[in-house]
Amino acid sequence: MPFAPFDPTRAVTFDLSSGQVHLQDSLATVIVPASALADLCSAAGDEATARFGRAIGQAMGKRVAGRLGGPEASRTEVETSTIEGFVEHLGGEFALTGMGALSLERWGRALVFVLDRATAPVLLVSTLFEAALESATGRSARCIRVMEEQSELATW
């Protein structure tokens, strides 16, 4: 089944007169340096970092589901999209937020998601990823780090 490719047109809007940035039609968004985000996560601790990652991921998953199935997307519509289409849209979300470049590899029967040039701490990224999958598909997900090399993180 063909899928509509990720289209970043109007995905980020800058309202300079009010001093606000928005991702699609979401609440106001803040742009911060990756190093400041890492410092904040370190100071906040694991529990707060995981909650923060889940909040970001839930919003990402909701936007992906909306694009794949429309504003009132059913889980069936999202699940019938191709895995490549789903990954392209989720990867677009990761790119828009500056988290890195998401791709998919097949290792035998396993699907492995790879985040290249990751800019955030591993705990933040993994909880964000889990929540995005759960929010988009309505199914529980668990992210397990299987490899980490310099700026590349592989999960399944």
Tell me how many domains the chain contains.
1
Q: Which residue positions in the chain have pLDDT lower than 50?
A: 1
| 0.85 exceeded by pTM | no
Is residue 107 one of the residues assigned to a domain? yes
Is residue 136 one of the residues assigned to a domain? yes
**Residue 102: closest CA among 137, 57, 135, 138:** 57
**Structure tokens belonging to residue 43:** 């100071």
**What's residue 149's pLDDT?**
72
| CA 21/CA 124 separation, integer angstroms | 22
Is residue 96 one of the residues assigned to a domain? yes
Is residue 64 one of the residues assigned to a domain? yes
Q: N- to C-terminal Cα distance for the chain?
A: 24
Is residue 42 one of the residues assigned to a domain? yes
Is residue 6 one of the residues assigned to a domain? no
**What's residue 146's pLDDT?**
76
Q: Cα 133–84–153 angle (5° rounding)?
A: 60
Domain containing 128 equals 12-155
| CA 140/CA 131 separation, integer angstroms | 8
Is residue 3 one of the residues assigned to a domain? no
**What's residue 48's pLDDT?**
98
